[in-house]
Structure 1
Amino acid sequence: MPRYIAHLDMDAFYASVELLRYPDLRGQPVVIGGGRRHQPALLADGTRRYARLAEYAGRGVVTTATYEARALGVHSGMGLMKAAALAPQAILLPTDFDEYRRYSRLFKAAVAEIAPQIEDRGIDEIYMDLTDVPGAQDAVGGDPLGGVRAVARAIKENVRRATGLTCSIGVTPNKLLSKLCSDLDKPDGLTVLTEADIPARIWPLPARRINGIGPKANARLEALGIRTIGELAACERQWLVEHFGPSYGAWLHEAAHGRDDRPVVTHSEPKSMSRETTFERDLHPRADREQLGALFTRLCEQVAADLARKGYVGRTIGIKLRFDDFRTVTRDQSLPSPTDDARLIRHAAGQCLKRVTLDRRLRLLGVRVGGLRRKEEVARPGPPVAAEPSAPYTLPLF
């Protein structure tokens, strides 16, 4: 029985969620990134005033962009100032991760109604095993792949009905090929390939399109005269092993031929949960103490809410600081018993903070909870850690 593995990728997910909220922006170049100060202003006549990318000043990065903005050269991870030079009139909207997570849960629930074998790969993408989904193995109209195409279309329609959003799906015999194919016909695409289609559809693609070939490996391949997946497939396995080592070289050979036997993993326990924020401007531990304290508390509360929503508690509380010289420092400590209580997390994170010399401006602050366990598996909580119950928390600086 043929194996049908699918990869579903939501189309410009964050931007698409924002367009549901601001439908008047459809068809325009829109960039998502930056802080809440770029929130649209509601005017007296009922219209909204949107910030333009040309107005942005800072060092934030693009979280995502609509396809209209991408056509102007803007892409995820690009600095907003650089994006402003390319598309100054593009609309700038702040990120709203709580809303994106809500829509993520909605689209995954819609998929599960049809294909329950799901591997969660993040907020906007999943793998699905469609092999045993009713109808997937049927031939329709003489097309042996007609059944699985119909299943994939039903999934896309269910996602659209539940969220109002579009997605792109690639269906192939394995995860590696499916991830490649979900990107071939974006947006709102559906690509179904068999191994026989690899030479025509996969080999002409750039080698860097294979998930697992990063910028450094791609640069090495190009230096060796290998630019496409087909050129990589033409290389002898031993030659690749000699140039890239026994493990990675062998994997490159298998990947170029579209071979991948990884299963769809339907359940895996997270090892930690974290929240962090990069500031619009560097914050000084002394001059910006009140603002840092409020942000610190908010991060702890967000991590606690994530733990509670997903049913986990954790013992190891950690912090992450990045200074204006890009030096990154982490500290952690273990509690007597696991918790999802925001005050206890905040107190323990504050103790970690005392072990850091805060002598420079900060550009990033993060809070992490590790050593996770399912809440129902913990018999009873240990004694609480002493913490201020209601007083506003400030950073223990000097």
Structure 2
Amino acid sequence: MSTRPRHIAHLDMDAFYASVELLRYPELRGRALVIGAGSAHEPVLQADGSRRYARLRDYTGRGVVTTSTYEARALGVFSAMGLMKAAKLAPDAILLPTDFTAYRHYSRLFKAAAGAIAPQMEDRGIDEIYLDLNDQTDDIAVVAQRIKDAVVAATGLSCSIGVAPNKLLAKICSDLEKPNGLTILSEADIPTRIWPLPVKKINGIGPKSTEKLAALGILTIEQLANCDPAVLRANFGRIYSAWLMRVAQGIDEREIVTRSEPKSISRESTLERDLHAKLDRSELSALFTRLCERVADDLVRKEYLGRTVGIKLRYADFSTVTRDLTLPAPTNDAQAIRQAAGECLRRVPLDKRLRLLGVRITSLSKPGAVPSTIVAQGELFAAEQL
């Protein structure tokens, strides 16, 4: 690890989507609240001025939890869980639809507030950022609290901040004292504050690796740090095992990346019920076209063109297939995207019922950019589409 003192902050908004909804519906504070339904579950304003909310127990469909309040998490309801499964754990939880327009609005507000204090910012998504605090002259704890206060003033929402010598440790720290936490860590604190944590706390060690490490008797970061490197190489290969050894020691030399370009733009929809390509042709066709139009709208809004169109199908048995097609020239036109996506459909089996449909576009470029030589991967022609 570099001997030069570094102060990198990871700012993570607390239960972001749910917290935005609580600004709109403050009477739900302290309640188990789940976000993830469709527009049919909007609250209903009653004659006496009160609102009637949908309950999780009344939900039927294939949706998943987008996020939940800490009260719902205490009942076992977490992001990416199926709503039907969540209903068994917290049947009385309030259910609200997602509102990404509002979430993006508050995302812009909190990032502007933090960036006014620490301009060297790496955007990591709608609810989290990294900040380089190395140029700050005030005490780091004071600066971090100032950022937290600025976020509250701009949005009415709380965040948790972890400050550490690098991005790896800062991200771990931001989760240690949630919600509304502020954790500052030095290299000397690694053995006492990081090593006792489970290995899954390291960003990049997923469920499969966690399970594999557990089979080797490695449950904590300290056990990983003290593991024989030869054992890790034998089980994880040379490259990943070397990375495991470094992160277990708290080593991460990545710099703050202040600008990054998206690699793809995609839209997908989990179906409320399994649909068949032939028996439900009109319904699927309308959804497929709508997904293509939303991808095109995203391209226009973000000022990008895309060249490689792809589709994603997930069948009722949870098997998934993808197909791609590269166009002769970049585009943001919904009709061209729809035509290419339809051609991709010709190359996948459509004899089984579907539970998810997705459209994406990659090979992104800015309008006016000079493209490299393009070789089409297949002739684009009119296809029999859904």
Q: In the alignment, what sits opposite 1:181? A: 173
| Counterpart pick for 2:22 among 12, 19, 40 | 19
Change (3 A) 1:217 1:332: closer
CA distance in 2, matches of 1:32, 1:395: 38
Q: In the alignment, what sits opposite 1:213? A: 205
CA distance in 2, matches of 1:107, 1:300: 31
Q: CA deviation at 1:369?
A: 1.2
Q: In the alignment, what sits opposite 1:396? A: 385
| Corresponding position: 1:373 with 2:362 | no
The alignment partner of 1:7 has SS state of strand
CA distance in 2, matches of 1:291, 1:108: 39
Q: In the alignment, what sits opposite 1:258? A: 250
| Corresponding position: 1:199 with 2:184 | no
Give unpaired runs (5+ residues) of structure 1: 139-146, 380-385, 389-393
Change (3 A) 1:387 1:189: farther
Q: In the alignment, what sits opposite 1:224? A: 216
Q: In the alignment, what sits opposite 2:303? A: 311
The alignment partner of 2:305 has SS state of strand
CA distance in 1, matches of 2:265, 2:202: 28
Indicate if the aligned counterparts of 1:34 and 1:280 stay in contact, CA closer than 8 A. no
> In structure 2, what residue type is equivalent to 1:115?
A
| TM-score normalised over the length of structure 1 | 0.88
| Corresponding position: 1:359 with 2:351 | yes
Q: In the alignment, what sits opposite 1:141? A: none
The alignment partner of 2:162 has SS state of strand
The alignment partner of 1:374 has SS state of coil
Q: CA deviation at 1:365?
A: 1.0
The alignment partner of 1:338 has SS state of strand
Q: In the alignment, what sits opposite 1:294? A: 286
Q: CA deviation at 1:387?
A: 12
Give the stretch that moved more between structures: 366-375 or 356-365.
356-365
CA distance in 1, matches of 2:318, 2:227: 40
Give unpaired runs (5+ residues) of structure 2: 372-379
CA distance in 2, matches of 1:264, 1:302: 31
| Counterpart pick for 1:339 among 328, 331, 335 | 331
> In structure 2, what residue type is equivalent to 1:329?
V
Give the stretch that moved more between structures: 339-348 or 64-73.
339-348
CA distance in 1, matches of 2:317, 2:370: 42
Change (3 A) 1:291 1:24: farther
Q: In the alignment, what sits opposite 2:11? A: 8
Q: In the alignment, what sits opposite 2:225? A: 233
> In structure 2, what residue type is equivalent to 1:164?
G
% of aligned pairs identical?
A: 66
The alignment partner of 1:336 has SS state of strand
Deviations 1:202-223 (A, max 9, x none): 1111122111222222222222
Change (3 A) 1:212 1:332: closer
Q: In the alignment, what sits opposite 1:53? A: 56
CA distance in 2, matches of 1:332, 1:276: 15
The alignment partner of 1:197 has SS state of helix
| Counterpart pick for 1:273 among 265, 271, 276 | 265
Q: In the alignment, what sits opposite 1:142? A: none
Change (3 A) 1:395 1:79: farther
Indicate if the aligned counterparts of 1:5 and 1:128 stay in contact, CA closer than 8 A. yes
The alignment partner of 2:246 has SS state of helix
| Counterpart pick for 1:324 among 316, 322, 339 | 316
Indicate if the aligned counterparts of 1:14 and 1:64 stay in contact, CA closer than 8 A. yes
The alignment partner of 1:62 has SS state of coil
For 1:2-151, list aligned pairs within 5 A. 2-132=5-135, 134-135=136-137, 138=138, 147-151=139-143
Q: CA deviation at 1:97?
A: 2.5
> In structure 2, what residue type is equivalent to 1:190?
L
Indicate if the aligned counterparts of 1:293 and 1:395 stay in contact, CA closer than 8 A. no
The alignment partner of 1:33 has SS state of strand
Q: CA deviation at 1:114?
A: 1.7
Q: CA deviation at 1:341?
A: 2.2
Q: How many residues align?
A: 377
Q: CA deviation at 1:66?
A: 0.1
CA distance in 2, matches of 1:63, 1:198: 33
The alignment partner of 1:299 has SS state of helix
Change (3 A) 1:395 1:126: farther
| TM-score normalised over the length of structure 2 | 0.90
